[in-house]
């Protein structure tokens, strides 16, 4: 009998399966514009240093954008498969990528910018996991640093996460079957079955399957967890195309992007 996967091991397994094909199916993601928009807002909040930690780095797309902007970056992901892909993408920086769980980070040093993108926080399925991850982020965040992360909105869970979609790459087909109800409510968990069909050299198709389970974290729950970690935040709403704007609406924006700082830094900065 198969032992049920815990939340972190389930996420690691899901992305291990997806890792070889992840770049094919995210080729249109506007990482450059996204990092630029995030950096502009972080600088406005006091970001000045060039040390960055890229949590849940995936295949290193966001890491590469940070390196190109002059940051010294360490990066980690819970999926060994994704870390391996990131190292292949950035062979000259291979030693900067490691396998690590954002809820239990090793001693990595101190960073001016801690980044956690692409709804990784939504894979934390309980308030305890959320608190553990934010506590780790606060521990590695420099006194005047900025911790930036995004979460999926109610709008996303009621639309793109819940519906069935098929995407085709070079010899690869990805089928996303949403299992969430269209009435997905605040704080609920949602899941999707993802199947990948790979055209092998012998002409046959190989089928690989995984499940992605996420939780919607309401803004009040996130603020509370950040406060417990000694952090305060401002929130931006995100539209398609990596467009950020002041204010947020869980039912109108596709993502909410949080910019958190140590509470002492907020008091000194008057924000």
Calculate the alpha carbon distances from 249 to 104, 184, 237, 246, 257 in Å: 31, 16, 7, 10, 11
User: Average model confidence (pLDDT) for the chain?
Assistant: 91
* 143 and 43 belong to one structural domain: yes
What pLDDT, on the 0 to 100 scale, is given for residue 6?
Answer: 57
Asked if the structure places residue 1 within a domain, the reply is no
Asked if the structure places residue 2 within a domain, the reply is no
Does the pLDDT of residue 62 top 50, yes or no? Answer: yes
Q: What is the pLDDT of residues 188-233, one digit of tens each?
A: 888 888 888 888 777 788 899 999 999 999 999 999 999 999 999 9
Share of the chain above pLDDT 90, in %: 72
> Which one has a higher pLDDT value, 179 or 64?
64
What mean pLDDT is predicted for residues 135-158?
96
Does the pLDDT of residue 5 top 70, yes or no? Answer: no
- In sequence order, what are the residues at sequence separation of 6 or more whose Cβ sits closer than 8 angstroms to the Cβ of residue 220? none
Share of the chain above pLDDT 70, in %: 95
Burial class (CB in 10 A: 0-12, 13-18, 19+), 26: middle
Structure tokens at 116: 């956690």
d(CA 150, CA 173): 27
What pLDDT, on the 0 to 100 scale, is given for residue 3?
Answer: 42
d(CA 19, CA 13): 10
Structure tokens at 256: 């909410």
Decide: helix, strand or coil at residue 249. Answer: coil
Structure tokens at 271: 């924000």
* 169 and 107 belong to one structural domain: no
What pLDDT, on the 0 to 100 scale, is given for residue 1?
Answer: 34
- State the distance between the two ends of the chain, measured CA to CA, in whole angstroms: 54
* 209 and 225 belong to one structural domain: no
- Which residue range forms the structural domain that includes residue 175? 157-214
Structure tokens at 95: 């030693």
* 19 and 91 belong to one structural domain: yes
* 77 and 128 belong to one structural domain: yes
Domain count within the chain: 2
Q: What is the pLDDT of residues 71-121, one digit of tens each?
A: 999 999 999 999 999 999 999 999 999 999 999 999 999 999 999 999 999
- Give yes or no for a contact between 65 and 30, defined as CB atoms under 8 angstroms apart: no
pTM of the model: 0.93
* 70 and 188 belong to one structural domain: no
CATH of the domain at 65: 3.40.50.150
């Amino acid at each position: 009998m198969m032992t049920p996967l815990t939340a972190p091991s389930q996420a690691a397994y899901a992305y291990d399966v997806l890792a070889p094909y992840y770049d094919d199916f995210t080729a249109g993601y506007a990482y450059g514009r996204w990092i630029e928009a995030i950096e502009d807002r972080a600088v406005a909040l006091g970001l000045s240093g060039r040390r960055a930690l890229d949590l849940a780095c995936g295949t290193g797309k966001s890491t590469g954008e940070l390196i190109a902007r002059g940051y010294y970056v360490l990066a980690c992901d819970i999926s060994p498969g994704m870390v391996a892909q990131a190292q292949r993408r950035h062979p000259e920086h291979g030693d900067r990528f490691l396998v690590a769980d954002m809820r239990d980070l090793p001693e990595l040093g101190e960073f001016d910018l801690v980044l956690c993108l692409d709804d990784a926080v939504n894979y934390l399925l309980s308030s305890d996991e959320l608190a553990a991850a934010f506590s780790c982020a606060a521990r590695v965040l420099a006194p005047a640093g900025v911790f930036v992360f995004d979460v999926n909105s109610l709008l996303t869970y009621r639309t793109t996460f819940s519906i069935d979609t098929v995407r085709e790459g070079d010899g690869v087909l990805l089928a996303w079957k949403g299992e969430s109800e269209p009435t997905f409510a605040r704080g609920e968990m949602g899941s999707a079955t993802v199947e990948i069909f790979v055209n092998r050299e012998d002409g046959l198709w190989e089928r690989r399957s995984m499940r992605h389970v996420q939780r919607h974290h309401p803004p009040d729950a996130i603020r509370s967890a950040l406060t417990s970690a000694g952090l305060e935040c401002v929130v931006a709403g995100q539209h398609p195309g990596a467009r950020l704007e002041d204010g947020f609406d869980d039912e109108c924006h596709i993502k909410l992007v949080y910019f958190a700082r140590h509470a002492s830094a907020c008091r000194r900065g008057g924000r």
